[in-house]
Structure 1
Amino acid sequence: MPLQNDMKIISTDDHVVEHPNVWLDRLPAALKERGPQIIEDELGHHVWRYDGEIYPQIGLNAVAGKDPKEYGMEPVRYDDMIPGCYDAGERVKDMDIDGVEAALCFPSFPGFSGGVFQRAKDKDLALECVRAWNDFQVDEWCAAAPSRLIPLGLLPTWDPVACAREVERLATLGTKAISFPDGPVPLGLPSFHHPTHWEPLWDAVEAADIPLALHFGSGSFVPGFSFLDKSKPDPHAPFAVAIAVFATNSMWSTADLLLSGVLQRHPKLRFVLSEGGIGWIPYLLERIDYTWERHRWYQDIDKVARPSELFKKHFWGCFIDDFHGVDNRYQIGIENILIEVDYPHSDSNWPNSRKRIAENLVNVPDDEARMIVETNARALFKFPA
């Protein structure tokens, strides 16, 4: 049926391009010079300088309002972007144009789960930068429109005890979700299978009752994008390859966690598979149950639920445009599906997101469509109308 006018779309994956003063306004005076700040390079691009290193603003991360023929990976200036990329007031206006009620916004400069700070040499400075970004999300970005923008937090991923402390602080700030690497191993961190390393974090997240969002690429691994070595991507491989198969990251994360034992030890954990699509979920659940039936010799069979059962309790899939996933929604679980817009990235349909979402859901009953676009997200993030 047509998407009803009273169904308020909540995007569970948008992005904010940090304005130049996010860290200059919040870091201690002694750290401001080494903290993130915008400079102009010799080519006239706006780039971030952080502790002596230069980080370009990737063009694909801020293309809302542009013709796809103008997309590219080259760095961009703020005056090349529409203001909604970095200004909360303008963002809400763009959401109004797009027919979107509320949005959860991931970082840009730090990486989707703070990978820039994970790789930084000075971890004391990095911790202050993480905390400053979290404060910016709550006291500036979301404070500009509390009923429209949903607070998201980052963690000092290099230290699970510090992660736990920051989770506790985020809970007091009213943060509704926390971004975490979709695969810790490429960042040089222990895997989800490690029996003890992440336990302080899992305990803290359960106590705070805040879901963890695993955004595609947040663990620094990019599927299908050939690498000559760890630092130099294959110059002949278009980034379109990675975008086309982004769901493989979410498949990896989901299989890891379902077979790790983490969910048995921590039954209240919840994971959001951000920008992963949903069409692959029925296949993976079928395949992982089949695998589990034949290869669970490493687990206590009588005490372990089937992976597909664990998925329904612990995971939420998100999609931008996924007709196949919508057609197979009953194999996923209506209550486990969320919508996303991805503004201002190149996968976004802005300013026609509501129209495109309606096309995806045209054969979905009203009660199910309402859950997918709005009420599932409100319940998960504790974000009432």
Structure 2
Amino acid sequence: MSAPSELPRIISVDDHVIEPAHLFETWLPAKYRDRGPKPLTAGIGELEYVGGKYRITTDPDGPLTDWWEYEGGLFPYKRIIAAVGFSRDEMTLEGITREQMRRGCWDPKARIQDMEANHVEASLCFPTFPRFCGQTFAEAKDLEVGLACVRAYNDWMAEEWCGDSGGRLIPLCLIPLWDVELAVKEIHRNAARGVRAVTFSEIPTYLGLPSIHSGCWDPFFAACEATGTVVCMHIGSSSQMPAASPDAPPAVQASLSFNNAMASMMDFLFSGVLVRFPQLKLAYAEGQMGWIPYALERADDVWREHRAWGGVRDLIPEPPSTYYYRQIFCCFFRDKHGVASLETVGVDNATFETDYPHVDSTWPHTKQVAAEHVAGLSPETTYKILRGNAIRMLGLDFDK
């Protein structure tokens, strides 16, 4: 059965926002502004990506770049994270200013115009300067100001970035990663104004935080379950990308990026978290999905053959794949192998993304890319993976 001639409008569960220069001046309480993040425009020097980490220097005579200054550190915006509108050969590690970016990177009205041109109805956006799950503020020396920054970002996200979009921009909020009780309060504060998604680290121990096996995060998971808040985990939200060799070119990390999502999913499947919180929903962003069938096969084999000595005999009562199909969502944008394995990946578990405005983004050709991937799928399955599963996952009001 062929896909319909007119594709359903897409709901993208993984896009990104470049924070406007006024964010903290507007949304951070006045008493913290002197110690909070400040925007500046200055020259950039050498910028390299080595072993999964950026190395950056400044240069007064270098190309102008927009930065954030926070607690003495500098965070530059790079062309690869605001790449839409550039050719593939122009998508480099060079610095960039907001004026050089496509306006939809940081302006919500312009973003919706770019979504219109890209067959996208709604979009969930991960942060940039705070990093994918708010690591920037978790690493702060002054955690009082860090907490204020988390709340300011969330207020801006919910009230300004998403506020006038008619639901087309879907709020995704941060938590103070360093304090679970404060994280629980922030989940409830945002849920009260309709936020149903929070960004979290794929592997918290890489950030020096407790593991999900420790039980430390259980109050956070309970709050997410109680409020219907989806726990969204982007590749790189552990501040590490897989690297085979320390001197490997960045292409190696880019090719291996799904490994973080796979490791995180195994952690959750064998942690007991999904057993204790059966209504909790997890969503993996930018990890693609072609690897999932074998990962589930291996997890179930380990559970059957090795659960006694493997430490999960009394912890995981059913095959791990049971909890994946019940509670975990994946997403993709270029993964024909995953689509060919969709019955095992899960027709109710797969969602779609455009990754705007990153170097991987399918903008402005997302409709064509999506059509190529769903060719041959039924209209019902096409609807699910392009929008229906995202609507169900996030509790959206579309199509009601």
Q: TM-score range by the shorter chain?
A: over 0.9
Which residue identity does 1:33 align to in structure 2? D
Q: What is aligned with 1:149?
A: 169
Cα distance in 2, alignment partners of residues 47 and 328 from structure 1 = 43
Cα distance in 1, alignment partners of residues 68 and 109 from structure 2 = 23
CA change 1:213–1:47 in 2 (3 A) is same
Cα distance in 2, alignment partners of residues 374 and 301 from structure 1 = 37
Are 1:282 and 2:271 counterparts?
no
TM-score by length of 1: 0.95
Which residue identity does 1:265 align to in structure 2? R
Which residue identity does 2:171 align to in structure 1? P
CA change 1:51–1:176 in 2 (3 A) is same
Q: What is aligned with 1:200?
A: 219
1:284-303 correspondence to structure 2 within 5 Å: 284-297=295-308, 298-301=311-314
Greater shift, 20-29 or 298-307, is seen at 298-307
Structure 1 residue 33 displacement after superposition: 2.1
Q: What is aligned with 1:359?
A: 372
1:48-197 correspondence to structure 2 within 5 Å: 48-194=68-214, 196-197=215-216
Structure 1 residue 226 displacement after superposition: 4.3
**Per-residue deviation, residues 21-78 of structure 1 (Å, max 9, x unmatched):** 1111011112112211211222322111012211111221100011010111232111
Q: What is aligned with 1:264?
A: 275
CA contact (8 A) 1:4 1:366 kept: no
Q: What is aligned with 2:351?
A: 338
Structure 1 residue 237 displacement after superposition: 3.0
CA contact (8 A) 2:138 2:146 kept: yes
Structure 1 residue 182 displacement after superposition: 0.7
TM-score by length of 2: 0.91
Which residue identity does 2:8 align to in structure 1? M
Are 1:349 and 2:368 counterparts?
no
Cα distance in 1, alignment partners of residues 96 and 17 from structure 2 = 15
Q: What is aligned with 2:24?
A: 23
Q: Which runs of 5+ in 1 are unaligned?
A: 228-235
Root-mean-square deviation (Å): 1.4
Which SS does the other structure have where 1:360 is aligned? Answer: helix
Structure 1 residue 263 displacement after superposition: 1.2
Q: What is aligned with 2:50?
A: none
CA change 1:302–1:158 in 2 (3 A) is closer
Q: What is aligned with 2:265?
A: 254
CA contact (8 A) 1:85 1:344 kept: yes
Which residue identity does 2:363 align to in structure 1? W
Which residue identity does 1:129 align to in structure 2? C
Structure 1 residue 132 displacement after superposition: 0.7
Which residue identity does 1:188 align to in structure 2? G
Cα distance in 2, alignment partners of residues 39 and 255 from structure 1 = 41
Q: What is aligned with 1:233?
A: none
Structure 1 residue 254 displacement after superposition: 0.3
Q: What is aligned with 2:240?
A: 221
Structure 1 residue 264 displacement after superposition: 1.2
CA contact (8 A) 1:225 1:239 kept: no
Cα distance in 1, alignment partners of residues 338 and 396 from structure 2 = 25
Which SS does the other structure have where 1:144 is aligned? Answer: coil
Cα distance in 2, alignment partners of residues 58 and 160 from structure 1 = 32
Which SS does the other structure have where 2:287 is aligned? Answer: coil
Are 1:322 and 2:353 counterparts?
no
Greater shift, 43-52 or 10-19, is seen at 43-52
Structure 1 residue 301 displacement after superposition: 4.8
CA contact (8 A) 1:3 1:361 kept: no
CA change 1:136–1:34 in 2 (3 A) is same
Which SS does the other structure have where 2:24 is aligned? Answer: coil
When the two structures are aligned, how many residues end up with a matched partner?
376
CA change 1:46–1:205 in 2 (3 A) is same
Cα distance in 1, alignment partners of residues 289 and 151 from structure 2 = 32
CA contact (8 A) 1:34 1:52 kept: no
Cα distance in 2, alignment partners of residues 103 and 299 from structure 1 = 38
Q: What is aligned with 2:323?
A: 310
Which residue identity does 2:330 align to in structure 1? G
Which residue identity does 1:147 align to in structure 2? G
**Per-residue deviation, residues 344-375 of structure 1 (Å, max 9, x unmatched):** 00111110011101101111111100000011
Q: Which runs of 5+ in 2 are unaligned?
A: 43-59
Cα distance in 1, alignment partners of residues 25 and 252 from structure 2 = 37
Q: What is aligned with 2:52?
A: none
Which SS does the other structure have where 2:11 is aligned? Answer: strand
CA contact (8 A) 2:270 2:316 kept: no
